[in-house]
Amino acid sequence: IVGLGWFGMQTVTLIPGDGIGPEISSAVMKIFEAAKAPIRWEERNVTAIKGPGGRWMIPPDAKESMDRNKIGLKGPLKTPIAAGHPSMNLLLRKTFDLYANVRPCISIEGYKTPYTNVDLVTIRENTEGEYSGIEHVIVEGVVQSIKLITEDASRRIAEYAFEYARNNQRSSVTAVHKANIMRMSDGLFLRKCREVAEGYKDIKFTEMYLDTVCLNMVQDPTQFDVLVMPNLYGDILSDLCAGLIGGLGVTPSGNIGANGVAIFESVHGTAPDIAGLDMANPTALLLSAVMMLRHMGLHDYGNKIQTACFDTIRDKKVLTKDLGGNSKCSEFTADICRRIQDLD
């Protein structure tokens, strides 16, 4: 937990992003102001620049701000196809060693999907696994991709998963794997999870095959609590769970790094077709900001904002287009601010 800054306010690095990023970021700032949350925002841009030595890096002022504040909130970033620089998300991940991607998926009352009462969290290892990017062409027509699993990374993610479960009053952690086929790699991951589970006897630990999880998830998602898994399975499962509650437009996400750094983000795209038209839905970024408040220990503010947001959606009077209504983003935001002030 970071220490309180000057005037009791905590500074958070805000990265508005591209496309609809700036409008949803300002919506979140307005809502935080209405809730009187003790957050001071420091806006930074993270468009990649070429540093000395020719390597792509994020601008030094952005890095310095994050290192100082430790907590960040990020909007959607676009990765231009022929820019030459790698994906911005990848760059941020490497710069701050963001090893855990946490996605809580909670059914939103008022936004109906075929699945109800979903309440699970996917914790995905974010640095290695199938996304190590190591590929070779052995001979013409044969390609080999390397999936890397290391003891340290597996232990680190398992420890984070159990810590998260303990801090958020979760009762069980399930490791998702395919150790029947990938005996050594997923076997190592599983062994580390088992070892860490020994130190957390208050939390139930189970293991399940990836295919069984998928099968059961679409039939009865209420049976799952916290899921921890390597990179690829995490990517697929976290998007599957996002689909259960209504898509990427309403799903929060957080990336936890070494040295206490945490960046919370919305995982949807930049939606360039509706950028600047006041039509965007700020729910995903708002819920990620709520996750951030909880991470910082400011649970009261987090609960207040989340309740106001869910109430607005449940009421169905001022919904944005993607949620089924035809109100503007500013109207949606204003309604949430009004509810927060009423709650006080």
Partner 1 sequence: MINYIYIYIYNTLVTTYRLISMQLITYEMLMLQPPPAKYGGRHTVTLIPGDGIGPELLNHVKEVFRFSCVPVDFEVVHVNSALESEDDINNAITAIRRNGVALKGNIETNHTMAPSVKSRNNLLRTSLDLYANVMHCQSLPGVQTRHKNIDIMIIRENTEGEYSSLEHESVSGVVECLKIITRNNSLRIADYAFRLAREKGRSRVTAVHKANIMKLGDGLFLQCCREVASGYPDITFDSMIVDNTTMQLVSKPQQFDVMVMPNLYGNVVSNVCAGLVGGPGLVPGANYGRDYAVFETATRNTGKSIAGRNIANPTAMLLAGCMMLDHLRLYDYASMIRNAILTTMNETRLHTADIGGQGTTSEVVQSIMRNIQSKGPLTTDL
Among 11-19, 161-169, 217-225, 299-307, which window interacts with partner 1 (CB under 8 A)?
Answer: 217-225
142 forms part of the interface with partner 1 (CB under 8 A)? yes
Measured CA to CA in angstroms, residue 102 lies from 17, 69, 198 at distances of: 20, 20, 22
Among 158-166, 172-180, 298-306, 323-331, which window interacts with partner 1 (CB under 8 A)?
Answer: 172-180
135 neighbors 141 (Cβ within 8 angstroms)? no
Among 51-59, 99-107, 231-239, 317-325, which window interacts with partner 1 (CB under 8 A)?
Answer: 231-239
Give the Cα separation of 171 and 226 in Å (integer).
Answer: 8
217 neighbors 224 (Cβ within 8 angstroms)? yes
Least Å from the CB of residue 179 to partner 1: 4
- Residues 45, 145, 171, 341: which binds partner 1 (CB under 8 A)? 145
DSSP 186-212: HHHHHHHHHHHHHT-TTSEEEEEEHHH
The torsion angle over the Cα atoms of residues 148, 149, 150 and 154, rounded to 10 degrees, is 140
Least Å from the CB of residue 102 to partner 1: 16
DSSP 5-53: -GGG-EEEEEE--STTHHHHHHHHHHHHHHTT-SEEEEE-----EE-TT
Least Å from the CB of residue 182 to partner 1: 5
147 forms part of the interface with partner 1 (CB under 8 A)? yes
210 forms part of the interface with partner 1 (CB under 8 A)? yes
Encoded tokens for 215: 């099968």
For residue 69, the one-letter residue type is N
47 forms part of the interface with partner 1 (CB under 8 A)? no
Q: Per-residue x/- mask for partner 1, residues 95 to 124, rule CB under 8 A?
A: ------------------xxx---------
208 forms part of the interface with partner 1 (CB under 8 A)? no
- Residues 216, 222, 223, 341: which binds partner 1 (CB under 8 A)? 216
Give the Cα separation of 256 and 124 in Å (integer).
Answer: 10
- Residues 244, 263, 318, 340: which binds partner 1 (CB under 8 A)? 244
